[in-house]
Amino acid sequence: MGRSRIEDKAYTEPHSIVEVASKTLSSYPHLVSVTAVHDEKEKSIELIYTFSDFRGALKNISTRIPEDKKTLPSIASVAPAASIYEQEVSELFGVAFDGNPFTGKRVLLPDCFPNDVHPLLRNVKQEDLEKVVAGCMLGEPQIYVTGSSRYSAESVILLPFGPYHPALKEPERFILVLEGETIVDVIPKIGHVHRGIEKIAEGRTFLQDLFLVERICGICSFIHSWTFTLAVEELLNVKPSKKAEYLRTMIAELERIHSHVLWIGLLGYWTGFESMFMWIWRLREKIMSLLDLLTGNRVHKSFIAFGGVRRDVTDEKLNTVAKTIAEFEKDYKKLIDEIMSYEPLVERIKGIGMYNAEHAIRLGAVGPMIRATGIPYDIRKVEPYGAYDEIDFNVVTGKGGDVFNVTMVRIKEVLESINIIRQCIEKMPRNENPVPKTLVIGVVKEGEAVARTEAPRGELFYYVKAANSRNPHRVKIRTPTLANILLAADMLKGYTLSDVPVIITSIDPCFSCMDRALVVDKNHNSVFFVDFNKLRKENKRIR
């Protein structure tokens, strides 16, 4: 579970997709993703709409459009969440969706990118893309501050929030339309860190991709590689040993703690309570050192392998983990109790950014955002993967959507994760070898597989297609932030400027995970891309 091979796709004609989608939505209310796959032999593009209900059933609807006539109706009218997924497909594959609210705007690719190049089509070479990007960057720098001409009245202030902004960890731009201190409208522009990972993944072997997808995110790196592994193991028909499953679960939960604690600390930063930020991050250091102890690295763990994990963990280390986790729990409970009863802080987050469950489902929210409204939608429970089916844990839910409830959900999830780690250590079979005999997997047989996991930020979705080759034919990644971004932009309206950082970041945004798809590396132009060695030499000279 948590993964499945796609065998029962429901084929529909492109023109009837809206009808079918609205029929499916009544029983499968959550749109997981819209995946496009280009088939250069048949000269067609296949679009797979993945729907899910809140009990773990998946439904794939597929449709095919020819390469030379790439239009089809948009389903954004029945499923608003689809608008951003469809926009991603339309920019990367050149498919036109009639009736998509984003049509005509650039959301993912840079504004200077030529209109007729679509990076993810199979016949576009990676080298050509590099030239295109370098060329467009050499042109006139374009600066868009105003964003929209709709707001030209004097009473309105357009405040650019990003791309570089002290409140955001990563570059992303929201243009806030202010009337006094109140926000009237928000214009998001994502995609400042598109790195073309989906494209690069097609040009590398499965084993190399495992390390590539891990680098999508610096915070939830392990869960990315795990989800990719789940999909590939499904294609290979491999099952990892019990101990490996437990170890993976344990690392993922440690990572969840570190991610949530990081977020809670940053909440202090965003509300202007910097002591809390430092105090909580001090606690997080313990978890980081545990990750270092278990995997050898603090951030990019490189711990997982197809069919197991890459290094065994001794009993001695497990005991250290148990001890440190107990210490952490004590400190954490004490500090959080003090902080969450501190009136000035609670006042800042309670009742801010209100939304309801229905709204969240329509906009496709996932993870703590949707659990805060009381819907127990947690992939670990509804579709157990790893060792979660043998572990006893609760799904934390809140009482209604606002920043305070989202915070409480995250705080309680940390305690739940501690509980899971304890059980993992207890139940783990001790005398097994979790390391597979060989790491190299070679050619993978034809097939498609999807995998879903519960990343710290919510449901993470991978689609992997193999076509009898060493490289994957297509890797589609839908990160939780992309699913939550529409909700975040919507939540802002009507609140004041002081609440912006708290609301935007309440989804625990990981913008760099969200944008993956443009190649900006290589030194085609020395003005922009300087070789590291050269930089180092120059640095020496200056010193």
Partner 1 sequence: MALIFEWIERKLIARIQWRVGPLLTGFKGVLQPFYDFAKLLLKEEVEIEGMNTYLADFSIILYVLSSVLGLLFIPLFVSTSLYSFNEDFIVVPLTFALSAVAQTLMGLSIQSSFTVVGTGRLVVQYAMYESLLLITLALPFMQCNTLSMSDIVKVQSRYPILLVQPLGFVVALIALLAKLEKPPFDLPHAKQEIAAGWMTEYCCRRLAFIQLGKDLEMVYGVALITTVFLGGGQGPMTYDFPWLYPIYFIVKMIIVLLLLVILQGMAVRVREVFMPQRLWERGIIMLVIQAFILFILKDVGLI
Partner 2 sequence: MTRLTMLKEVLKSLFSKPSTEPLAEVEKGVFSPYSRGCPVLIPEKCTGCSLCAMNCPSNAITMKIVGEKNVGGKTLPVRRPEFNYFKCIYCGLCAQVCQFNAIEMRRDLVILRPRSKC
Residue ranges in contact with partner 1 by CB under 8 A: 157-160, 165-167, 178, 181, 269-275, 277-279, 282, 342, 344-345, 347-348, 496-501
CB nearer to partner 1: give 145 or 440: 145
State the minimum distance, in angstroms, from the CB of residue 151 to partner 1: 12
**Distance of alpha carbon 127 from alpha carbon 304, whole angstroms:** 30
Using CB under 8 A as the binding rule, the residues of this chain from 403 to 442 that contact partner 2 are 438-440
- The three-point CA angle 398-329-501 to 5° equals 50
Binding mask 200-219 for partner 2 (x = CB under 8 A): ----xx-xx-xxx-------
288 binds, among partner 1, partner 2, none (CB under 5 to 8 A by kind): none
State the minimum distance, in angstroms, from the CB of residue 83 to partner 2: 35
CB nearer to partner 1: give 101 or 160: 160
**Distance of alpha carbon 306 from alpha carbon 435, whole angstroms:** 10
Phi first, then psi, for residue 158 (nearest 5°) are -95, 115
State the minimum distance, in angstroms, from the CB of residue 169 to partner 1: 11
302 binds, among partner 2, partner 1, none (CB under 5 to 8 A by kind): partner 2
**Distance of alpha carbon 188 from alpha carbon 377, whole angstroms:** 27
Across the strands, what pairs with 186? 176
For residue 149, state whether it binds partner 2 (rule: CB under 8 A): no
CB atoms within 10 A of CB 196: 22
Is 126:200 a contact under the CB 8 Å cutoff?
Answer: yes
For residue 542, state whether it binds partner 2 (rule: CB under 8 A): no
Beta-carbon contacts of 24 under 8 Å, excluding residues fewer than 6 positions away, are 49, 51, 59, 61
Is the preceding peptide bond at 501 cis, omega within 30 degrees of 0?
no
Give the one residue of 42, 111, 181, 285 binding partner 2; rule: CB under 8 A: 285
- The three-point CA angle 278-284-286 to 5° equals 125
Beta-carbon contacts of 52 under 8 Å, excluding residues fewer than 6 positions away, are 28, 30, 32, 58, 59, 452
State the minimum distance, in angstroms, from the CB of residue 534 to partner 1: 24
CB nearer to partner 2: give 297 or 468: 297
Give the one residue of 25, 77, 167, 279 binding partner 2; rule: CB under 8 A: 279
1 binds, among partner 1, partner 2, none (CB under 5 to 8 A by kind): none
227 binds, among partner 1, partner 2, none (CB under 5 to 8 A by kind): none
Phi first, then psi, for residue 398 (nearest 5°) are -105, -170
**Distance of alpha carbon 169 from alpha carbon 511, whole angstroms:** 8
For residue 126, state whether it binds partner 2 (rule: CB under 8 A): no
State the minimum distance, in angstroms, from the CB of residue 418 to partner 2: 21
181 binds, among partner 1, partner 2, none (CB under 5 to 8 A by kind): partner 1
State the minimum distance, in angstroms, from the CB of residue 335 to partner 2: 8
DSSP letter, residue 355: B
**Binding segment for partner 2 among 34-42, 181-189, 251-259, 336-344 (CB under 8 A)?**
336-344
Task: Kindly state the helix (H) or strand (E) to which residue 176 belongs, with its residue range.
Answer: strand 173-179
CB nearer to partner 1: give 13 or 274: 274
Using CB under 8 A as the binding criterion, the count of chain residues that bind partner 2 stands at 30
CB nearer to partner 2: give 56 or 272: 272
Task: Report which of 390, 395, 393, 385 is spatially closest to residue 427, judged by C-alpha positions.
Answer: 390
**Binding segment for partner 2 among 80-88, 221-229, 242-250, 292-300 (CB under 8 A)?**
292-300
- The three-point CA angle 119-124-126 to 5° equals 80
State the minimum distance, in angstroms, from the CB of residue 341 to partner 1: 13
Is 389:1 a contact under the CB 8 Å cutoff?
Answer: yes
CB nearer to partner 2: give 12 or 227: 227
CB nearer to partner 2: give 219 or 387: 219
Phi first, then psi, for residue 435 (nearest 5°) are -90, 125
| 3-state class (DSSP) for residue 64 | strand
CB nearer to partner 1: give 123 or 498: 498
For residue 369, state whether it binds partner 2 (rule: CB under 8 A): no
CB atoms within 10 A of CB 320: 15
158 binds, among partner 2, partner 1, none (CB under 5 to 8 A by kind): partner 1
CB nearer to partner 2: give 384 or 436: 436
Using CB under 8 A as the binding rule, the residues of this chain from 479 to 538 that contact partner 2 are 532-533
Beta-carbon contacts of 524 under 8 Å, excluding residues fewer than 6 positions away, are 130, 131, 134
**Distance of alpha carbon 97 from alpha carbon 89, whole angstroms:** 9
CB nearer to partner 1: give 115 or 539: 539
167 binds, among partner 1, partner 2, none (CB under 5 to 8 A by kind): partner 1
169 binds, among partner 2, partner 1, none (CB under 5 to 8 A by kind): none
The secondary structure of 202-263 as a DSSP string is HTS-HHHHHHHHHTT-SSSHHHHHHHHHHHHHHHHT----HHHHHHHHHHHHHHHHHHHHHH
For residue 323, state whether it binds partner 2 (rule: CB under 8 A): no
Binding site for partner 2 (CB under 8 A): 204-205, 207-208, 210-212, 275, 279, 282, 285, 292-297, 300, 302, 310, 335, 338, 341-343, 438-440, 532-533
